[in-house]
Each structure stands twice: as structure tokens, then as C-alpha cells.
Structure 1
Amino acid sequence: MRLLIKGGRLIDPFNHIDAIQDLLVEDGKIRSRGNALDDSGCEIIDASGKIVCPGFIDIHVHLREPGFEYKEDIASGTRAAACGGFTTVCCMPNTEPVIDNEAVVGFVREKARKVGIVNVLPVGSISKKQAGLELSEIAELVTAGCVAISDDGKPVMKANIMRNALDYAKMFGLPVLSHCEDLNLVNGGLMHEGYYSTIYGLRGIPAAAEEVMVARDIILARLTGGHLHICHASTAGSMALVRQAKAEGLNVTCEVTPHHLTLSDEIIDGYDADTKVNPPLRSEEHLLALREALLDGTVDCIATDHAPHHFEAKDCEYELAACGISGLETAIAVIMDKLVRPGLLDIKDMVKLFTSGPAGVMGIDKGSLEEGKSADITIIDSEIVKTVDPRTFKSKGRNTPYKGMELQGWPCMTLVNGVLVAQNGEIVLKK
């Protein structure tokens, strides 16, 4: 099968490409780039006026299967990813049973092969059952197909466990994805500790609860030489620590989420449980520090931390509500509208943060339009304006603080291995 994507603005940060070019796809691979390519025998996609990118990658997604299929499953989660413009997702291990052994990894990979419509890469747990007491069999997880290890959803409170995880993971070239949170400092908090937590009468979570664990894990990365990746970094202090670690030459990377880049704790005034997330939405000063870190290269990638929940988990008092935002279907539009369109983030940098950036963190052969590579492609229409309506989500999780918000700039086509799987928010591939 030959497919020619004509007249689009190709942006491929990995190969330093930003030009109006055609893209030829053949047998699921990128065959060539250029102008006036031979279109004989090709199916044509007119991408004039649109942005053609390597397939977007989300390295932090909760697909919930096995065990919590009422929140999300691999079929619904990958459809949400495709409609959101993502061609590859890395799924977190806080399932039931936990992804801590070969059998569960095998289940996830086989289920993804059968019903998934984007690439699914499993992340194994650092500790058995995510209990934080004993390391998982890391070699077994690598052999089974895991691309990283993490206890995301729970912090690794024991420093010796994290040290050993970094040591063992280093032998396999595996990143350790750290959920940085000191539970003793969290102490039952519900939102960021500061002015608005006082005004709204909710117990606060200090920025230090994240920062002391970021500092600890960076010290352990220095000790071991392992690859430490900070998940969902949310504070100015975390950015300063990561920036310093990078300057020192340590193998430390980090991600930020669209919601921490665009929403502050002020919006919690209505006690809408869809604003409850972990780490919490921070104050304006932290939000601005994250944006600054995007520009100076401290942040390696944007990841959604897609955390879908069933209706009842959010339709309750703020104190009782589950933490998490269903973010796959809105992430690109949020960044396009809130950062790129106002000129706060260059479109080329935005594409890098969703493509070669996350691919580099995870050490996967994705994130470019290089000839011979899999034709995973995301096409964005910067002119599309839509209002976020959770009722149209392909995810089972409708929990989003962006509901009712008008956003400009949406993914319009998603191709995986050269096959069009989603178009204008709808699934077109039958599987």
C-alpha cells in the first residue's frame, strides 16, 4: 500500500526538519520525504495548511487493565489515544494484579495486540505488588517487554529500595520513573498548600512534599549512575533541582503535564472534583516556573498522566473524590491553545516535547519521520476550534476540568504503521 501525504508542514525535530514537503508511506514505513514526489498508485491525503509530525508519544498513561476495566480498558484507552493524536502510549503498572511479573506483562501485550489501535508499551512495577518492600524481578520484566519501571500512583518511600531499583535498572539501560511524594508531608492533603487552600478551607499539600523526594532520588541517581525520570513534576523547586542535576551531567529527566502547565489552584473554588489530581494543581508561581523550564530545556517531555475514573469516583465530596484527569483526548488541543497560539511555546518545541523528547527518555525507536521507520504520524489542524465535551470521549473516563472550554488547534488525523486509525475525533479503523 502506498500513501502520499501532500503539502503539509513537516515538523520533525529529531531530523531538524521544518518545511512544506510531501511524505510518502509504503508498506507501513516512511519511504521518502520531499517535493513533487511520484504519486502514481498512491492514496492521497491533502495536508495543505496542516502540520504533519512524527506520531505523538505519551509515556504516562493509566489504561487500568487488568483489574479496573470499569474505569478504562486497553480497547477504550487506545481509542482515546488515537483520537487525541497519540500513536504510542506507555501504560503504568498500578493495575490488579500489578504489572510485576512476566504473566501480567504478557497479558497486557497480547490484549493490546488484539484490541489496541496504537502502540502500547508496558511499564513494570519497581516493587512487588507496588508495596515498596521488595524489588520486582526486573530482568524478567525486561525480557517480557517492559520499557521502564515505576511504582507510579505510589511513592517508593524506602530509599534503599529506590537505590537498588536504579542500580538494577542501569544494567538493562532502563529508566526508573519516580512518583515523587513524601506521604508524611502530604498528610491527608487535598490541594496545593497556599493562599487558596486557606481560602477554600481544604487541607493543603506543600510543594516540599514533592521536592524532598525529587532531591532524594537525584542524590540516589548520582550515587548509582542510573537513569532517573521524574514523573508529573509540578513545582518550581523540582524544576530547580532537575536543572541542577542536568548541569551536573546526571542521567536525570522529567515530564510535566498539560494540566500543571495551564491550570492553577485558583480554579478549585467550585470544589469540582475533576480538578482534584495528584500532584495537585499548584499556584501561579509554580505554573510559570514549569513554563520557563519548557523553554530552557529542563523539561524533556509532556505527558498526560491520563487517569480515567468512573462517574461515582468524581461525583462526590472533594475530600472523598479520586485523584486524576482523563487527559489523552485534550492534551494536544490544550497545549496548542494555551501555549502555542499565544506565542508562549514554539510549535517546533511543542512537537519535540511530544515526539523525540519522550522517545529519548524511554529509549524507544519512535518519534521521527526518518526514512525506513514505522509510519506513525500525527496531523494537526491549527485552525480547528472545538468545545471540550466529555460525552464524546472514547475514554471511559469523562473526568476533565477542561469540560465546556473552547480550544483551538486539534489533531485531525492519526496514522499507526501507515494506517489511518482516527480522523477528526472519530475512530476509522475497525478492530
Structure 2
Amino acid sequence: MKGFRHIMKRVIANSRVLEADKLVKRDILIEDGQIQAIEPEIKVDDTINEVIDAKNNFVSPGLVDVHVHYRQPGQEDKETIKTGSQAAAHGGFTTVGAMPNLTPAPDSVDHFNAIKKLNQQDGVVHIKQYATITTNREDDELVDFAALKQAGAFAFSNDGNGIQKSSTMYEAMQQAAKLDMAIVEHVQDDALSYGGVLNDGAANRLHLKAMPWVSETAQAARDIVLAEATGVHYHICHASSKHTVELIRAAKKAGINVTAEVTPHHLLLSDDAITTDNSNYKMNPPLRGEDDRQALIEGLLDGTIDMIATDHAPHTKADKDKSIASAAFGITGSETAFDMLYTKFVKTGRFTLAQLINWMAKKPASVFKMAAAGSLEVGKPADIAVFDLDHAHTIQESDYLSKGKNSPFTGQTVYGETVMTLVDGKIVYQK
């Protein structure tokens, strides 16, 4: 029949979902990619095309990661949009923000549209694309903010490169504020980084150059002052230092529109973990002291830090099979974030499951105004992750769907394995 479209109806049965911080048994009806009902029991009749048995596993809103690197175009040997988004789905993520360190960078409407088209064509999850702040993420020539917003930019960032010149940041914030867009910043004063690769403690132990905490915190201080002056939504990437946490706390108390993220690796590890020259522990910003790690945890718990974001940074084996001194910065994160955090924090009673889902789904969606993402609700898209909280599994390199195998968490035995991920009601990952 002309104009007739077959509507797919499926039920996820025997789910455990979070309601008021408790896990309760529910069935979920999905129709045409949307959640139509969440009930104690949904009667299955002949209008239902498929029943998925969740087997009493935890059914969560799809996770939201505002900080990933997909390397395409320009460095497809490290990752592609397809492999990166498959890795996200494997980790239970259904929406990601893709950073702009690409070649060519999304610094013009043409470049941006070409990347957006690739994201839509190859991505298995929702990919929100960042545009750059300056041309090619370098120097001080600002991009056309209004045109890039119209093209669909998620936010503006030069991630990987901190904006070194204060006037450039000030003018970028003024333009972004006018458009109600966020400036998302890798806070790093290069002059205070001294070409360092590790925090002081580990650097001294291994006789390598240190990257002091002031390189991050001094830049954050400058930017917070500029954010107050401009009223922009200013978001700090991967906070690593207790001093940065204190600044963000004070800024929020002063009513400045500042938000922040922390990575799983900065929550899970301190530089005490770096006992040998192992480049899987090299990331930027570096792992800092145990007191910094505890301050990051406290910052999450008291609302100073808004969300967890992975900074998924895949590299080739050749880029990482080197001394920390010369290896590439960065580790993968999409496929290990939920199970590592669940095991080390929820199972031990430091976080509740509801808090973890808030930081990994609800809060990033609300801070970045993604109305369709981050919640398991009737009327919302069926972006859903199913996690096995009850059985241990070992993280194995052979299971990674990312091209990047550069993770310090390989070999860990954890709980919270992803069993299935659905995007708009379609299964995009299944164990």
C-alpha cells in the first residue's frame, strides 16, 4: 500500500530499571524507535514483532560521553568513525561528542559538513560533532561561530590544544555567549607545562620531565575570570588537579556558568600506579597524586564536577610502543568506563548506581541541552544499554572493537559488562 510503513514493535522483558534509586522489575515497549511504555508487565500479543529477554539484567538509559576522539578524517589508522562508534556501543554509550582534532579540522562549514556526513553515514550511535574555536585549532584566527552553529556544531573546542592567548579566548567566549553555545576547553598553559609528560611524583621516580599542576589550574583561573566577564557556558575538560576542583567550586558559588568533567582514569588511578615506563599510563593531563584523585571524587559527590567523560583517545601500537617520554598521550575509554567505575565505586559503596548513571547519562545530556538523550522515559528515543551487574568478566584486548588497544585496564576482572545496546530501538551491539 502506498505510504504504508511497517512499524516495528519490540518488548524488552525481565528488565531491572532504576526507579527512585532502587532496581525494580519492568518490561519496556518500544515502538518505531521510541519508548512507548515501561510497566511491571507488558502483555505480548501478535502485534509485537520481537521479545528481548533482558534476563534480569540492569536496563539503563544509553550512556552519554561528551568527549571522544574518532581520528577520521586524517588518522584512520588509529580509529575510524565506524570503529569508534562501535566501541562506544560496546561500552553502553548511545550518544557521544566527537572532538575536532581531525585533518582537515571542522573549522569551516564545508569541513564541518563533510565530517557530519561521515558521522551520519558510518556512526552506529548518535555523534554530536564539535567545531574548532580557531582555524585548524592553532594560532588566533577565530572560526565563523554563527555559521558553524547553523551547520550543527555541538559546541566549540580546540581540544588537545589549550588557547594560549587570553584575548583569543575572551573574544571566542563573547561570540559563543551571543549564540548560547558552550566553549569546551582543554585547560593547559603550554609555557607552564615545560614539555612534561607525567605528574611530579612519577616523573621524579622515572627520571622524566614533569608537567606541573599549575599548567592546568592557572589556565582554568584565567578562563573562569573570562567566563564571568562574558557570561558564556564554559566547560572544563578532564579536570585532574585538586586545585582546579577548588577553583570550579568557588566559581560555581559565585554564580559563574562553569561546568566540568572528569575521566574514569583520573578517578580510578593516581600517579602511584606508574611504577615502570609503561606508556598506557601516559595521558594529558597526567595522572596526579592520590590527594588529587580523592579531590576529584569529592568534587563529583558534591556537584562541583558535573559529569564523567572518557576522553577516549585511541592510538596505534607503534605510537604507544615507546617510552613514556616519546609515546603519544592518551588511552582508550569507551569500552572500559562503565564496568571499571561500577566495580571500583558502586560495588564498594562509594557511589550509588543512580549517581553513576546520573554522571554518565543524565547530567551530560542536561548540561549540554540534549533533550532526547540520557533518560529512560516514555516518549523518548529507545537509546538503551543493558548491563550484567551480577557476573564477573575479564577485560580482554581481543574483545575491544576500537582500533586502539591502549588501555591500562586490560586484564582487570570487573562487573557490569554490556550485554546489549540499542539506538533508536535498533540493536547496535549485542554480546
The answer to whether the superposition gives a TM-score over 0.5 is yes
**Amino acid corresponding to residue 306 of structure 1 in structure 2:** H
Runs of 5+ in structure 2 lacking a partner? Answer: 1-7
- Please list the CA deviations of residues 78-112 of structure 1 after superposition, one character each: whole Å capped at 9, or x if unmatched: 11111111111110001011111112221222112
- Please list the CA deviations of residues 273-300 of structure 1 after superposition, one character each: whole Å capped at 9, or x if unmatched: 1110000011101011111111111111
Q: Following the alignment from structure 2 to structure 1, what is the Cα–Cα distance between the partners of residues 383 and 167?
A: 40
Q: CA deviation at 1:17?
A: 8.2
**Amino acid corresponding to residue 90 of structure 2 in structure 1:** C
Residues 189-200 of structure 1: matches in 2 within 5 Å?
189-194=196-201, 196-200=202-206
Q: 1:144 — aligned with what?
A: 151
Q: 2:224 — aligned with what?
A: 218
- Please list the CA deviations of residues 142-199 of structure 1 after superposition, one character each: whole Å capped at 9, or x if unmatched: 11111100000000011111111111112222111011011111111110113x3222
Whether the 8 Å CA contact 1:390–1:399 is kept in 2: the answer is no
- Please list the CA deviations of residues 358-396 of structure 1 after superposition, one character each: whole Å capped at 9, or x if unmatched: 112221121112222111011111123222222321111
Residues 19-38 of structure 1: matches in 2 within 5 Å?
19-38=24-43
Whether the 8 Å CA contact 2:25–2:56 is kept in 1: the answer is no
- Residues 249, 19 of structure 1: CA spacing in aligned structure 2 closer, same or farther, 3 A cutoff? farther
Where 1:210 maps in the other structure, the secondary structure is helix
Q: 1:296 — aligned with what?
A: 302
Whether the 8 Å CA contact 1:2–1:26 is kept in 2: the answer is yes
Where 2:35 maps in the other structure, the secondary structure is strand
Q: 2:3 — aligned with what?
A: none
Q: 1:269 — aligned with what?
A: 275
Q: Following the alignment from structure 2 to structure 1, what is the Cα–Cα distance between the partners of residues 19 and 374?
A: 8
RMSD value over aligned CA atoms? Answer: 1.4
Where 2:370 maps in the other structure, the secondary structure is coil
Q: Following the alignment from structure 2 to structure 1, what is the Cα–Cα distance between the partners of residues 142 and 44?
A: 54
Where 2:323 maps in the other structure, the secondary structure is coil
1:379 lines up with 2:409 in the alignment: no
Q: 2:348 — aligned with what?
A: 342
1:71 lines up with 2:78 in the alignment: yes
Residues 319-338 of structure 1: matches in 2 within 5 Å?
319-338=325-344
Q: Following the alignment from structure 1 to structure 2, what is the Cα–Cα distance between the partners of residues 152 and 378?
A: 28
- Residues 416, 12 of structure 1: CA spacing in aligned structure 2 closer, same or farther, 3 A cutoff? farther
Q: Following the alignment from structure 1 to structure 2, what is the Cα–Cα distance between the partners of residues 272 and 150?
A: 29
**Count of residues in correspondence between the two structures:** 421
- Please list the CA deviations of residues 294-335 of structure 1 after superposition, one character each: whole Å capped at 9, or x if unmatched: 111111111000000011111012211000001111111111
Whether the 8 Å CA contact 2:239–2:262 is kept in 1: the answer is yes
Q: CA deviation at 1:406?
A: 1.4
Once structures 1 and 2 are overlaid, which stretch shifts more, 19-28 or 33-42? 33-42
Q: Give the structure-2-normalised TM-score.
A: 0.95
Q: Give the structure-1-normalised TM-score.
A: 0.95
Where 2:274 maps in the other structure, the secondary structure is helix
Residues 32-181 of structure 1: matches in 2 within 5 Å?
32-40=37-45, 41-42=47-48, 43-181=50-188
Q: CA deviation at 1:246?
A: 1.3
Q: Following the alignment from structure 1 to structure 2, what is the Cα–Cα distance between the partners of residues 57 and 162?
A: 27
Structure 1 stretches of at least 4 aligned residues deviating more than 4 Å after TM superposition: none
Runs of 5+ in structure 1 lacking a partner? Answer: 425-431
Q: 2:359 — aligned with what?
A: 353
**Amino acid corresponding to residue 27 of structure 2 in structure 1:** D
Whether the 8 Å CA contact 1:125–1:151 is kept in 2: the answer is yes
**Amino acid corresponding to residue 336 of structure 2 in structure 1:** T
1:185 lines up with 2:192 in the alignment: yes
Q: Following the alignment from structure 2 to structure 1, what is the Cα–Cα distance between the partners of residues 384 and 257?
A: 29
Where 2:328 maps in the other structure, the secondary structure is coil
